[in-house]
Amino acid sequence: MVYGGPDEQHELAVVDAGEATTSEGDGVQIEKKGDATVLNWQTSSSRRVVTFGCGLYVYILGTSHSVRNPSVLLLTCSPDRNSAYNYWTLKLPDERGLFAPDVLASTVILKAGYLMRNATVSSGCLNLVGDFNATTAIEVIGGAPSELTELTVNGESVSFEQDHDGVITANVAFSPDITVPSLDSLEWKYIDSLPEIQPDYDDSDWPSADLTYSNNTNFNLSTPSSLFGADYGFSTGVLIYRGHFTANGQESSLFLMTQGGSAFGTSVWIDSEFVDSFDGYDAAMNSNKTYQLPKLQSGNDYVITVLIDEMGMDENYVVRENEMKNPRGILRYTLAGHEASDITWKLTGNFGGEDYPDKDRGPLNEGGLYAERQGYHLPGAPIADWKASGGPTEGISSAGVAFYGAEIDLDIPSGWDVPLSFTFTNGTSEVTEGSLASSYRVQLYVNGYQFGKYVNNVGPQKSFPVPQGIWNYSGTNYIAFALWSLEAGGAKVDGLELSVNGTILSGYGDFPLSPQTGWSDRQAY
């Protein structure tokens, strides 16, 4: 097959093929040059056919014409390169199911549109396997049995016609009737995923951040003990710190240098009172910010809680810079009126750290949010005990982290490829004209697999595909969303949909489910 672009001049030479005549169309110049017959033409929208004495037919395709070719060899040229994508050469296996090298292979040549996967011929029957995104006319122009007895497409018998040249024509019907539930119709349940700011929270089982050295030899410590997450085995997802100190009444501010990678964010609380956040932006790998604190009572004990959204490790973009070793966590801090050593720190991250329990989903699947540490993102989580909720689109009224879970039933028939994605609408309902979008972050999970992090004030991604296999297309699925509001007024997802991104009649076959280990009580802190 040969093809070109619009308004191009093409030339083709055939040796020892006999006399050539134009049997359809015009505008093809034919000239003998020694043993060769040379065809020369300007691309156009109309089809031309040149027939040689040896039985070779050369079809010069136009954009709106189909091809009929009784010869063994097909040569095509089209003024529209895209039209060439509608033609397929499918190698036929031999009687052992093996394929010969291309130059020796028998092939079926056909026009069929979206995607043709393979073909087989047996006992006068032609079997085609492919994908179709519309009612499709099939035209087999070479390689089929000369007297076809049956044509099957994706295992289904299809009526066909075969003319005296052996060309086969048929139609594949496409009539999808597939819908998915609205997320607003689900029975959402809610649980607070930031109990760490409550006065009765006990962090005694958390690791103490008491290492006076760092395993990261690229960076010298600027704190009395290391507050790099990786030094304590926490290298993915949200990191949570709790700093304990006794007030002296001079704590007017807290300076924090935090680092989490591009577009990361940080939120700070003093006891249960929200202080402020670093919302993050695309180019910000770290943050140097001074947080103004409320008046504290001298002699009372307080806890600083810091959430850091760890966005993954850096790539080593600059040679010899070792950027991949950039630490994640708190790099430096200053509490007004105090020495750095006056604060004792605890921290946590993903449950188990480097000894994570979920080997099916892997080490990057979950971070340090309370709901993640408890395994509430996994199917079978005890959501029946949680509060009823309107879901992420209802949102929360203050800074913090909400966790929502719901079950969703899918009934997509076998034989259909239906790509699904979660689509967010940028949240602006709480924002005044001219200001930035409200700052919140959403992590989404399907059957325990984390499949996206939406950062509303950064973006730009708002559509998150989740493939079949993670989804159970013929049963009940568990979905969950962690909503982190970085603003005192809270946040809600303005719009959230489960979108159908295509409906394709597919010959791929049944799709196995990925491992979907369910929830069990982790006894996590």
User: Where do the structural domains in the chain lie, given as residue ranges?
Assistant: 1-83, 86-175, 183-192+369-505, 196-354
Show Cβ contacts of residue 211 under 8 Å, excluding neighbours closer than 6 positions.
225, 226, 231, 232
Question: What gap in Å lies between CA 400 and CA 360, rounded to an integer?
Answer: 30
**The pair of three-digit structure tokens given for residue 386, joined into one six-digit string:** 């949680």
Q: What is the pLDDT of residue 418?
A: 95
Residue with structure tokens 């307080």? 302
Selected residue with higher pLDDT from 105 and 296: 296
pLDDT exceeds 70 at position 260: yes
Residue 11 has pLDDT above 60, yes or no: yes
Q: Report whether pLDDT(302) > 60.
A: yes
Looking at residue 59, its pLDDT comes to 79
* pLDDT value, residue 103: 63
Going by DSSP bridges, is the β-strand pair 474-485/440-446 parallel, antiparallel, or unpaired? Answer: antiparallel
Q: Report the range out of 119-123, 208-212, 318-322, 504-508 with the highest average pLDDT.
A: 208-212
Separation CA 245–CA 301 (nearest Å): 6
Q: What is the pLDDT of residues 512-525, one digit of tens each?
A: 999 999 999 998 77
Tally: H helices and E strands in the chain? 2, 34
Amino acid at 99: F
pLDDT classification of 1: cutoffs 50, 70, 90: low
pTM for this entry:
0.86
Check residue 113 and give its pLDDT. 80
Question: Which residues make beta-bridge pairs with 294?
Answer: none
pLDDT mean over 207-215: 96
pLDDT digits (tens, 9 = 90+) for 398-442: 999 999 999 999 999 999 999 999 999 865 444 444 444 689 999
How large is the average pLDDT for residues 263-280? 97
The CATH number of 86-175 is which of 3.40.50.800, 1.25.40.10, 3.40.50.970, 2.60.390.10? 2.60.390.10
In the predicted model, what is the mean pLDDT of residues 300-329?
Answer: 92
Do 110 and 91 meet the contact criterion of CB atoms below 8 Å apart?
A: no
Answer with the residue of higher pLDDT: 101 or 238. 238
CB 414 within 8 A of CB 493: no
Least confident of 90-104, 242-256, 496-510: 90-104
Q: What integer best gives the mean pLDDT of the chain?
A: 90
Phi-psi region of 55 (alpha: psi -120 to 50; beta: other; left: phi over 0): left
Q: Are 52 and 12 in contact (CB under 8 A)?
A: no
pLDDT at position 437, please? 62
Domains 183-192+369-505 and 196-354 equal at CATH topology level: yes
Is-contact 282 460, C-beta < 8 A? Answer: no
Give residue 81's pLDDT band: very low, low, confident or very high (50, 70, 90): low
- The pLDDT of 118-145, averaged and rounded, is 92
- The CATH code that applies to domain 183-192+369-505 is 2.60.120.260
* pLDDT digits 0-9 by tens, 336-356: 999 999 999 999 999 999 999
Inform me whether the pLDDT recorded for 445 exceeds 50: yes
Q: Where are the alpha helices (DSSP H) in 264-303?
A: none
Report the share of the chain in percent with pLDDT over 70. Answer: 92
Contact in structure between 59 and 74 (CB atoms under 8 Å): yes
CATH of domain 1-83: 2.102.20.10
Of 61-65, 387-391, 482-486, the range with the lowest mean pLDDT is 61-65
Spatial contact of 216 and 230, defined as CB atoms under 8 Å apart: yes
3-state secondary structure of 341: helix
Confidence band of 58 (pLDDT split at 50, 70, 90): confident
Query: What is the per-residue DSSP string for 486-514?
Result: -STT-B--SEEEEEE---EE--S---PPP
Q: Between the CA atoms of 290, 292, 298 and 302, what dihedral angle is there, to the nearest 10 degrees?
A: -70
pLDDT band at 238 (very low <50, low <70, confident <90, very high): very high
Q: With 90 as the cut, is the pLDDT of residue 247 above it?
A: yes
Binned at pLDDT 50, 70 and 90, residue 96 comes out as confident
Interatomic CA distance for residues 360 and 517, integer angstroms: 7
Residue 191's beta-bridge partner residues? 403
Q: How buried is residue 486: exposed, middle or buried, by Cβ count under 10 Å (0-12/13-18/19+)? A: buried
Question: How far apart, in whole angstroms, are the C-alpha atoms of residue 89 and residue 205?
Answer: 64
User: Each residue of 185-197: pLDDT tens digit?
Assistant: 999 999 999 999 9
| Residue 468 DSSP code | B
Do 360 and 469 contact (CB within 8 A), yes or no?
no
Domain 196-354 fold is Jelly Rolls (2.60.120)
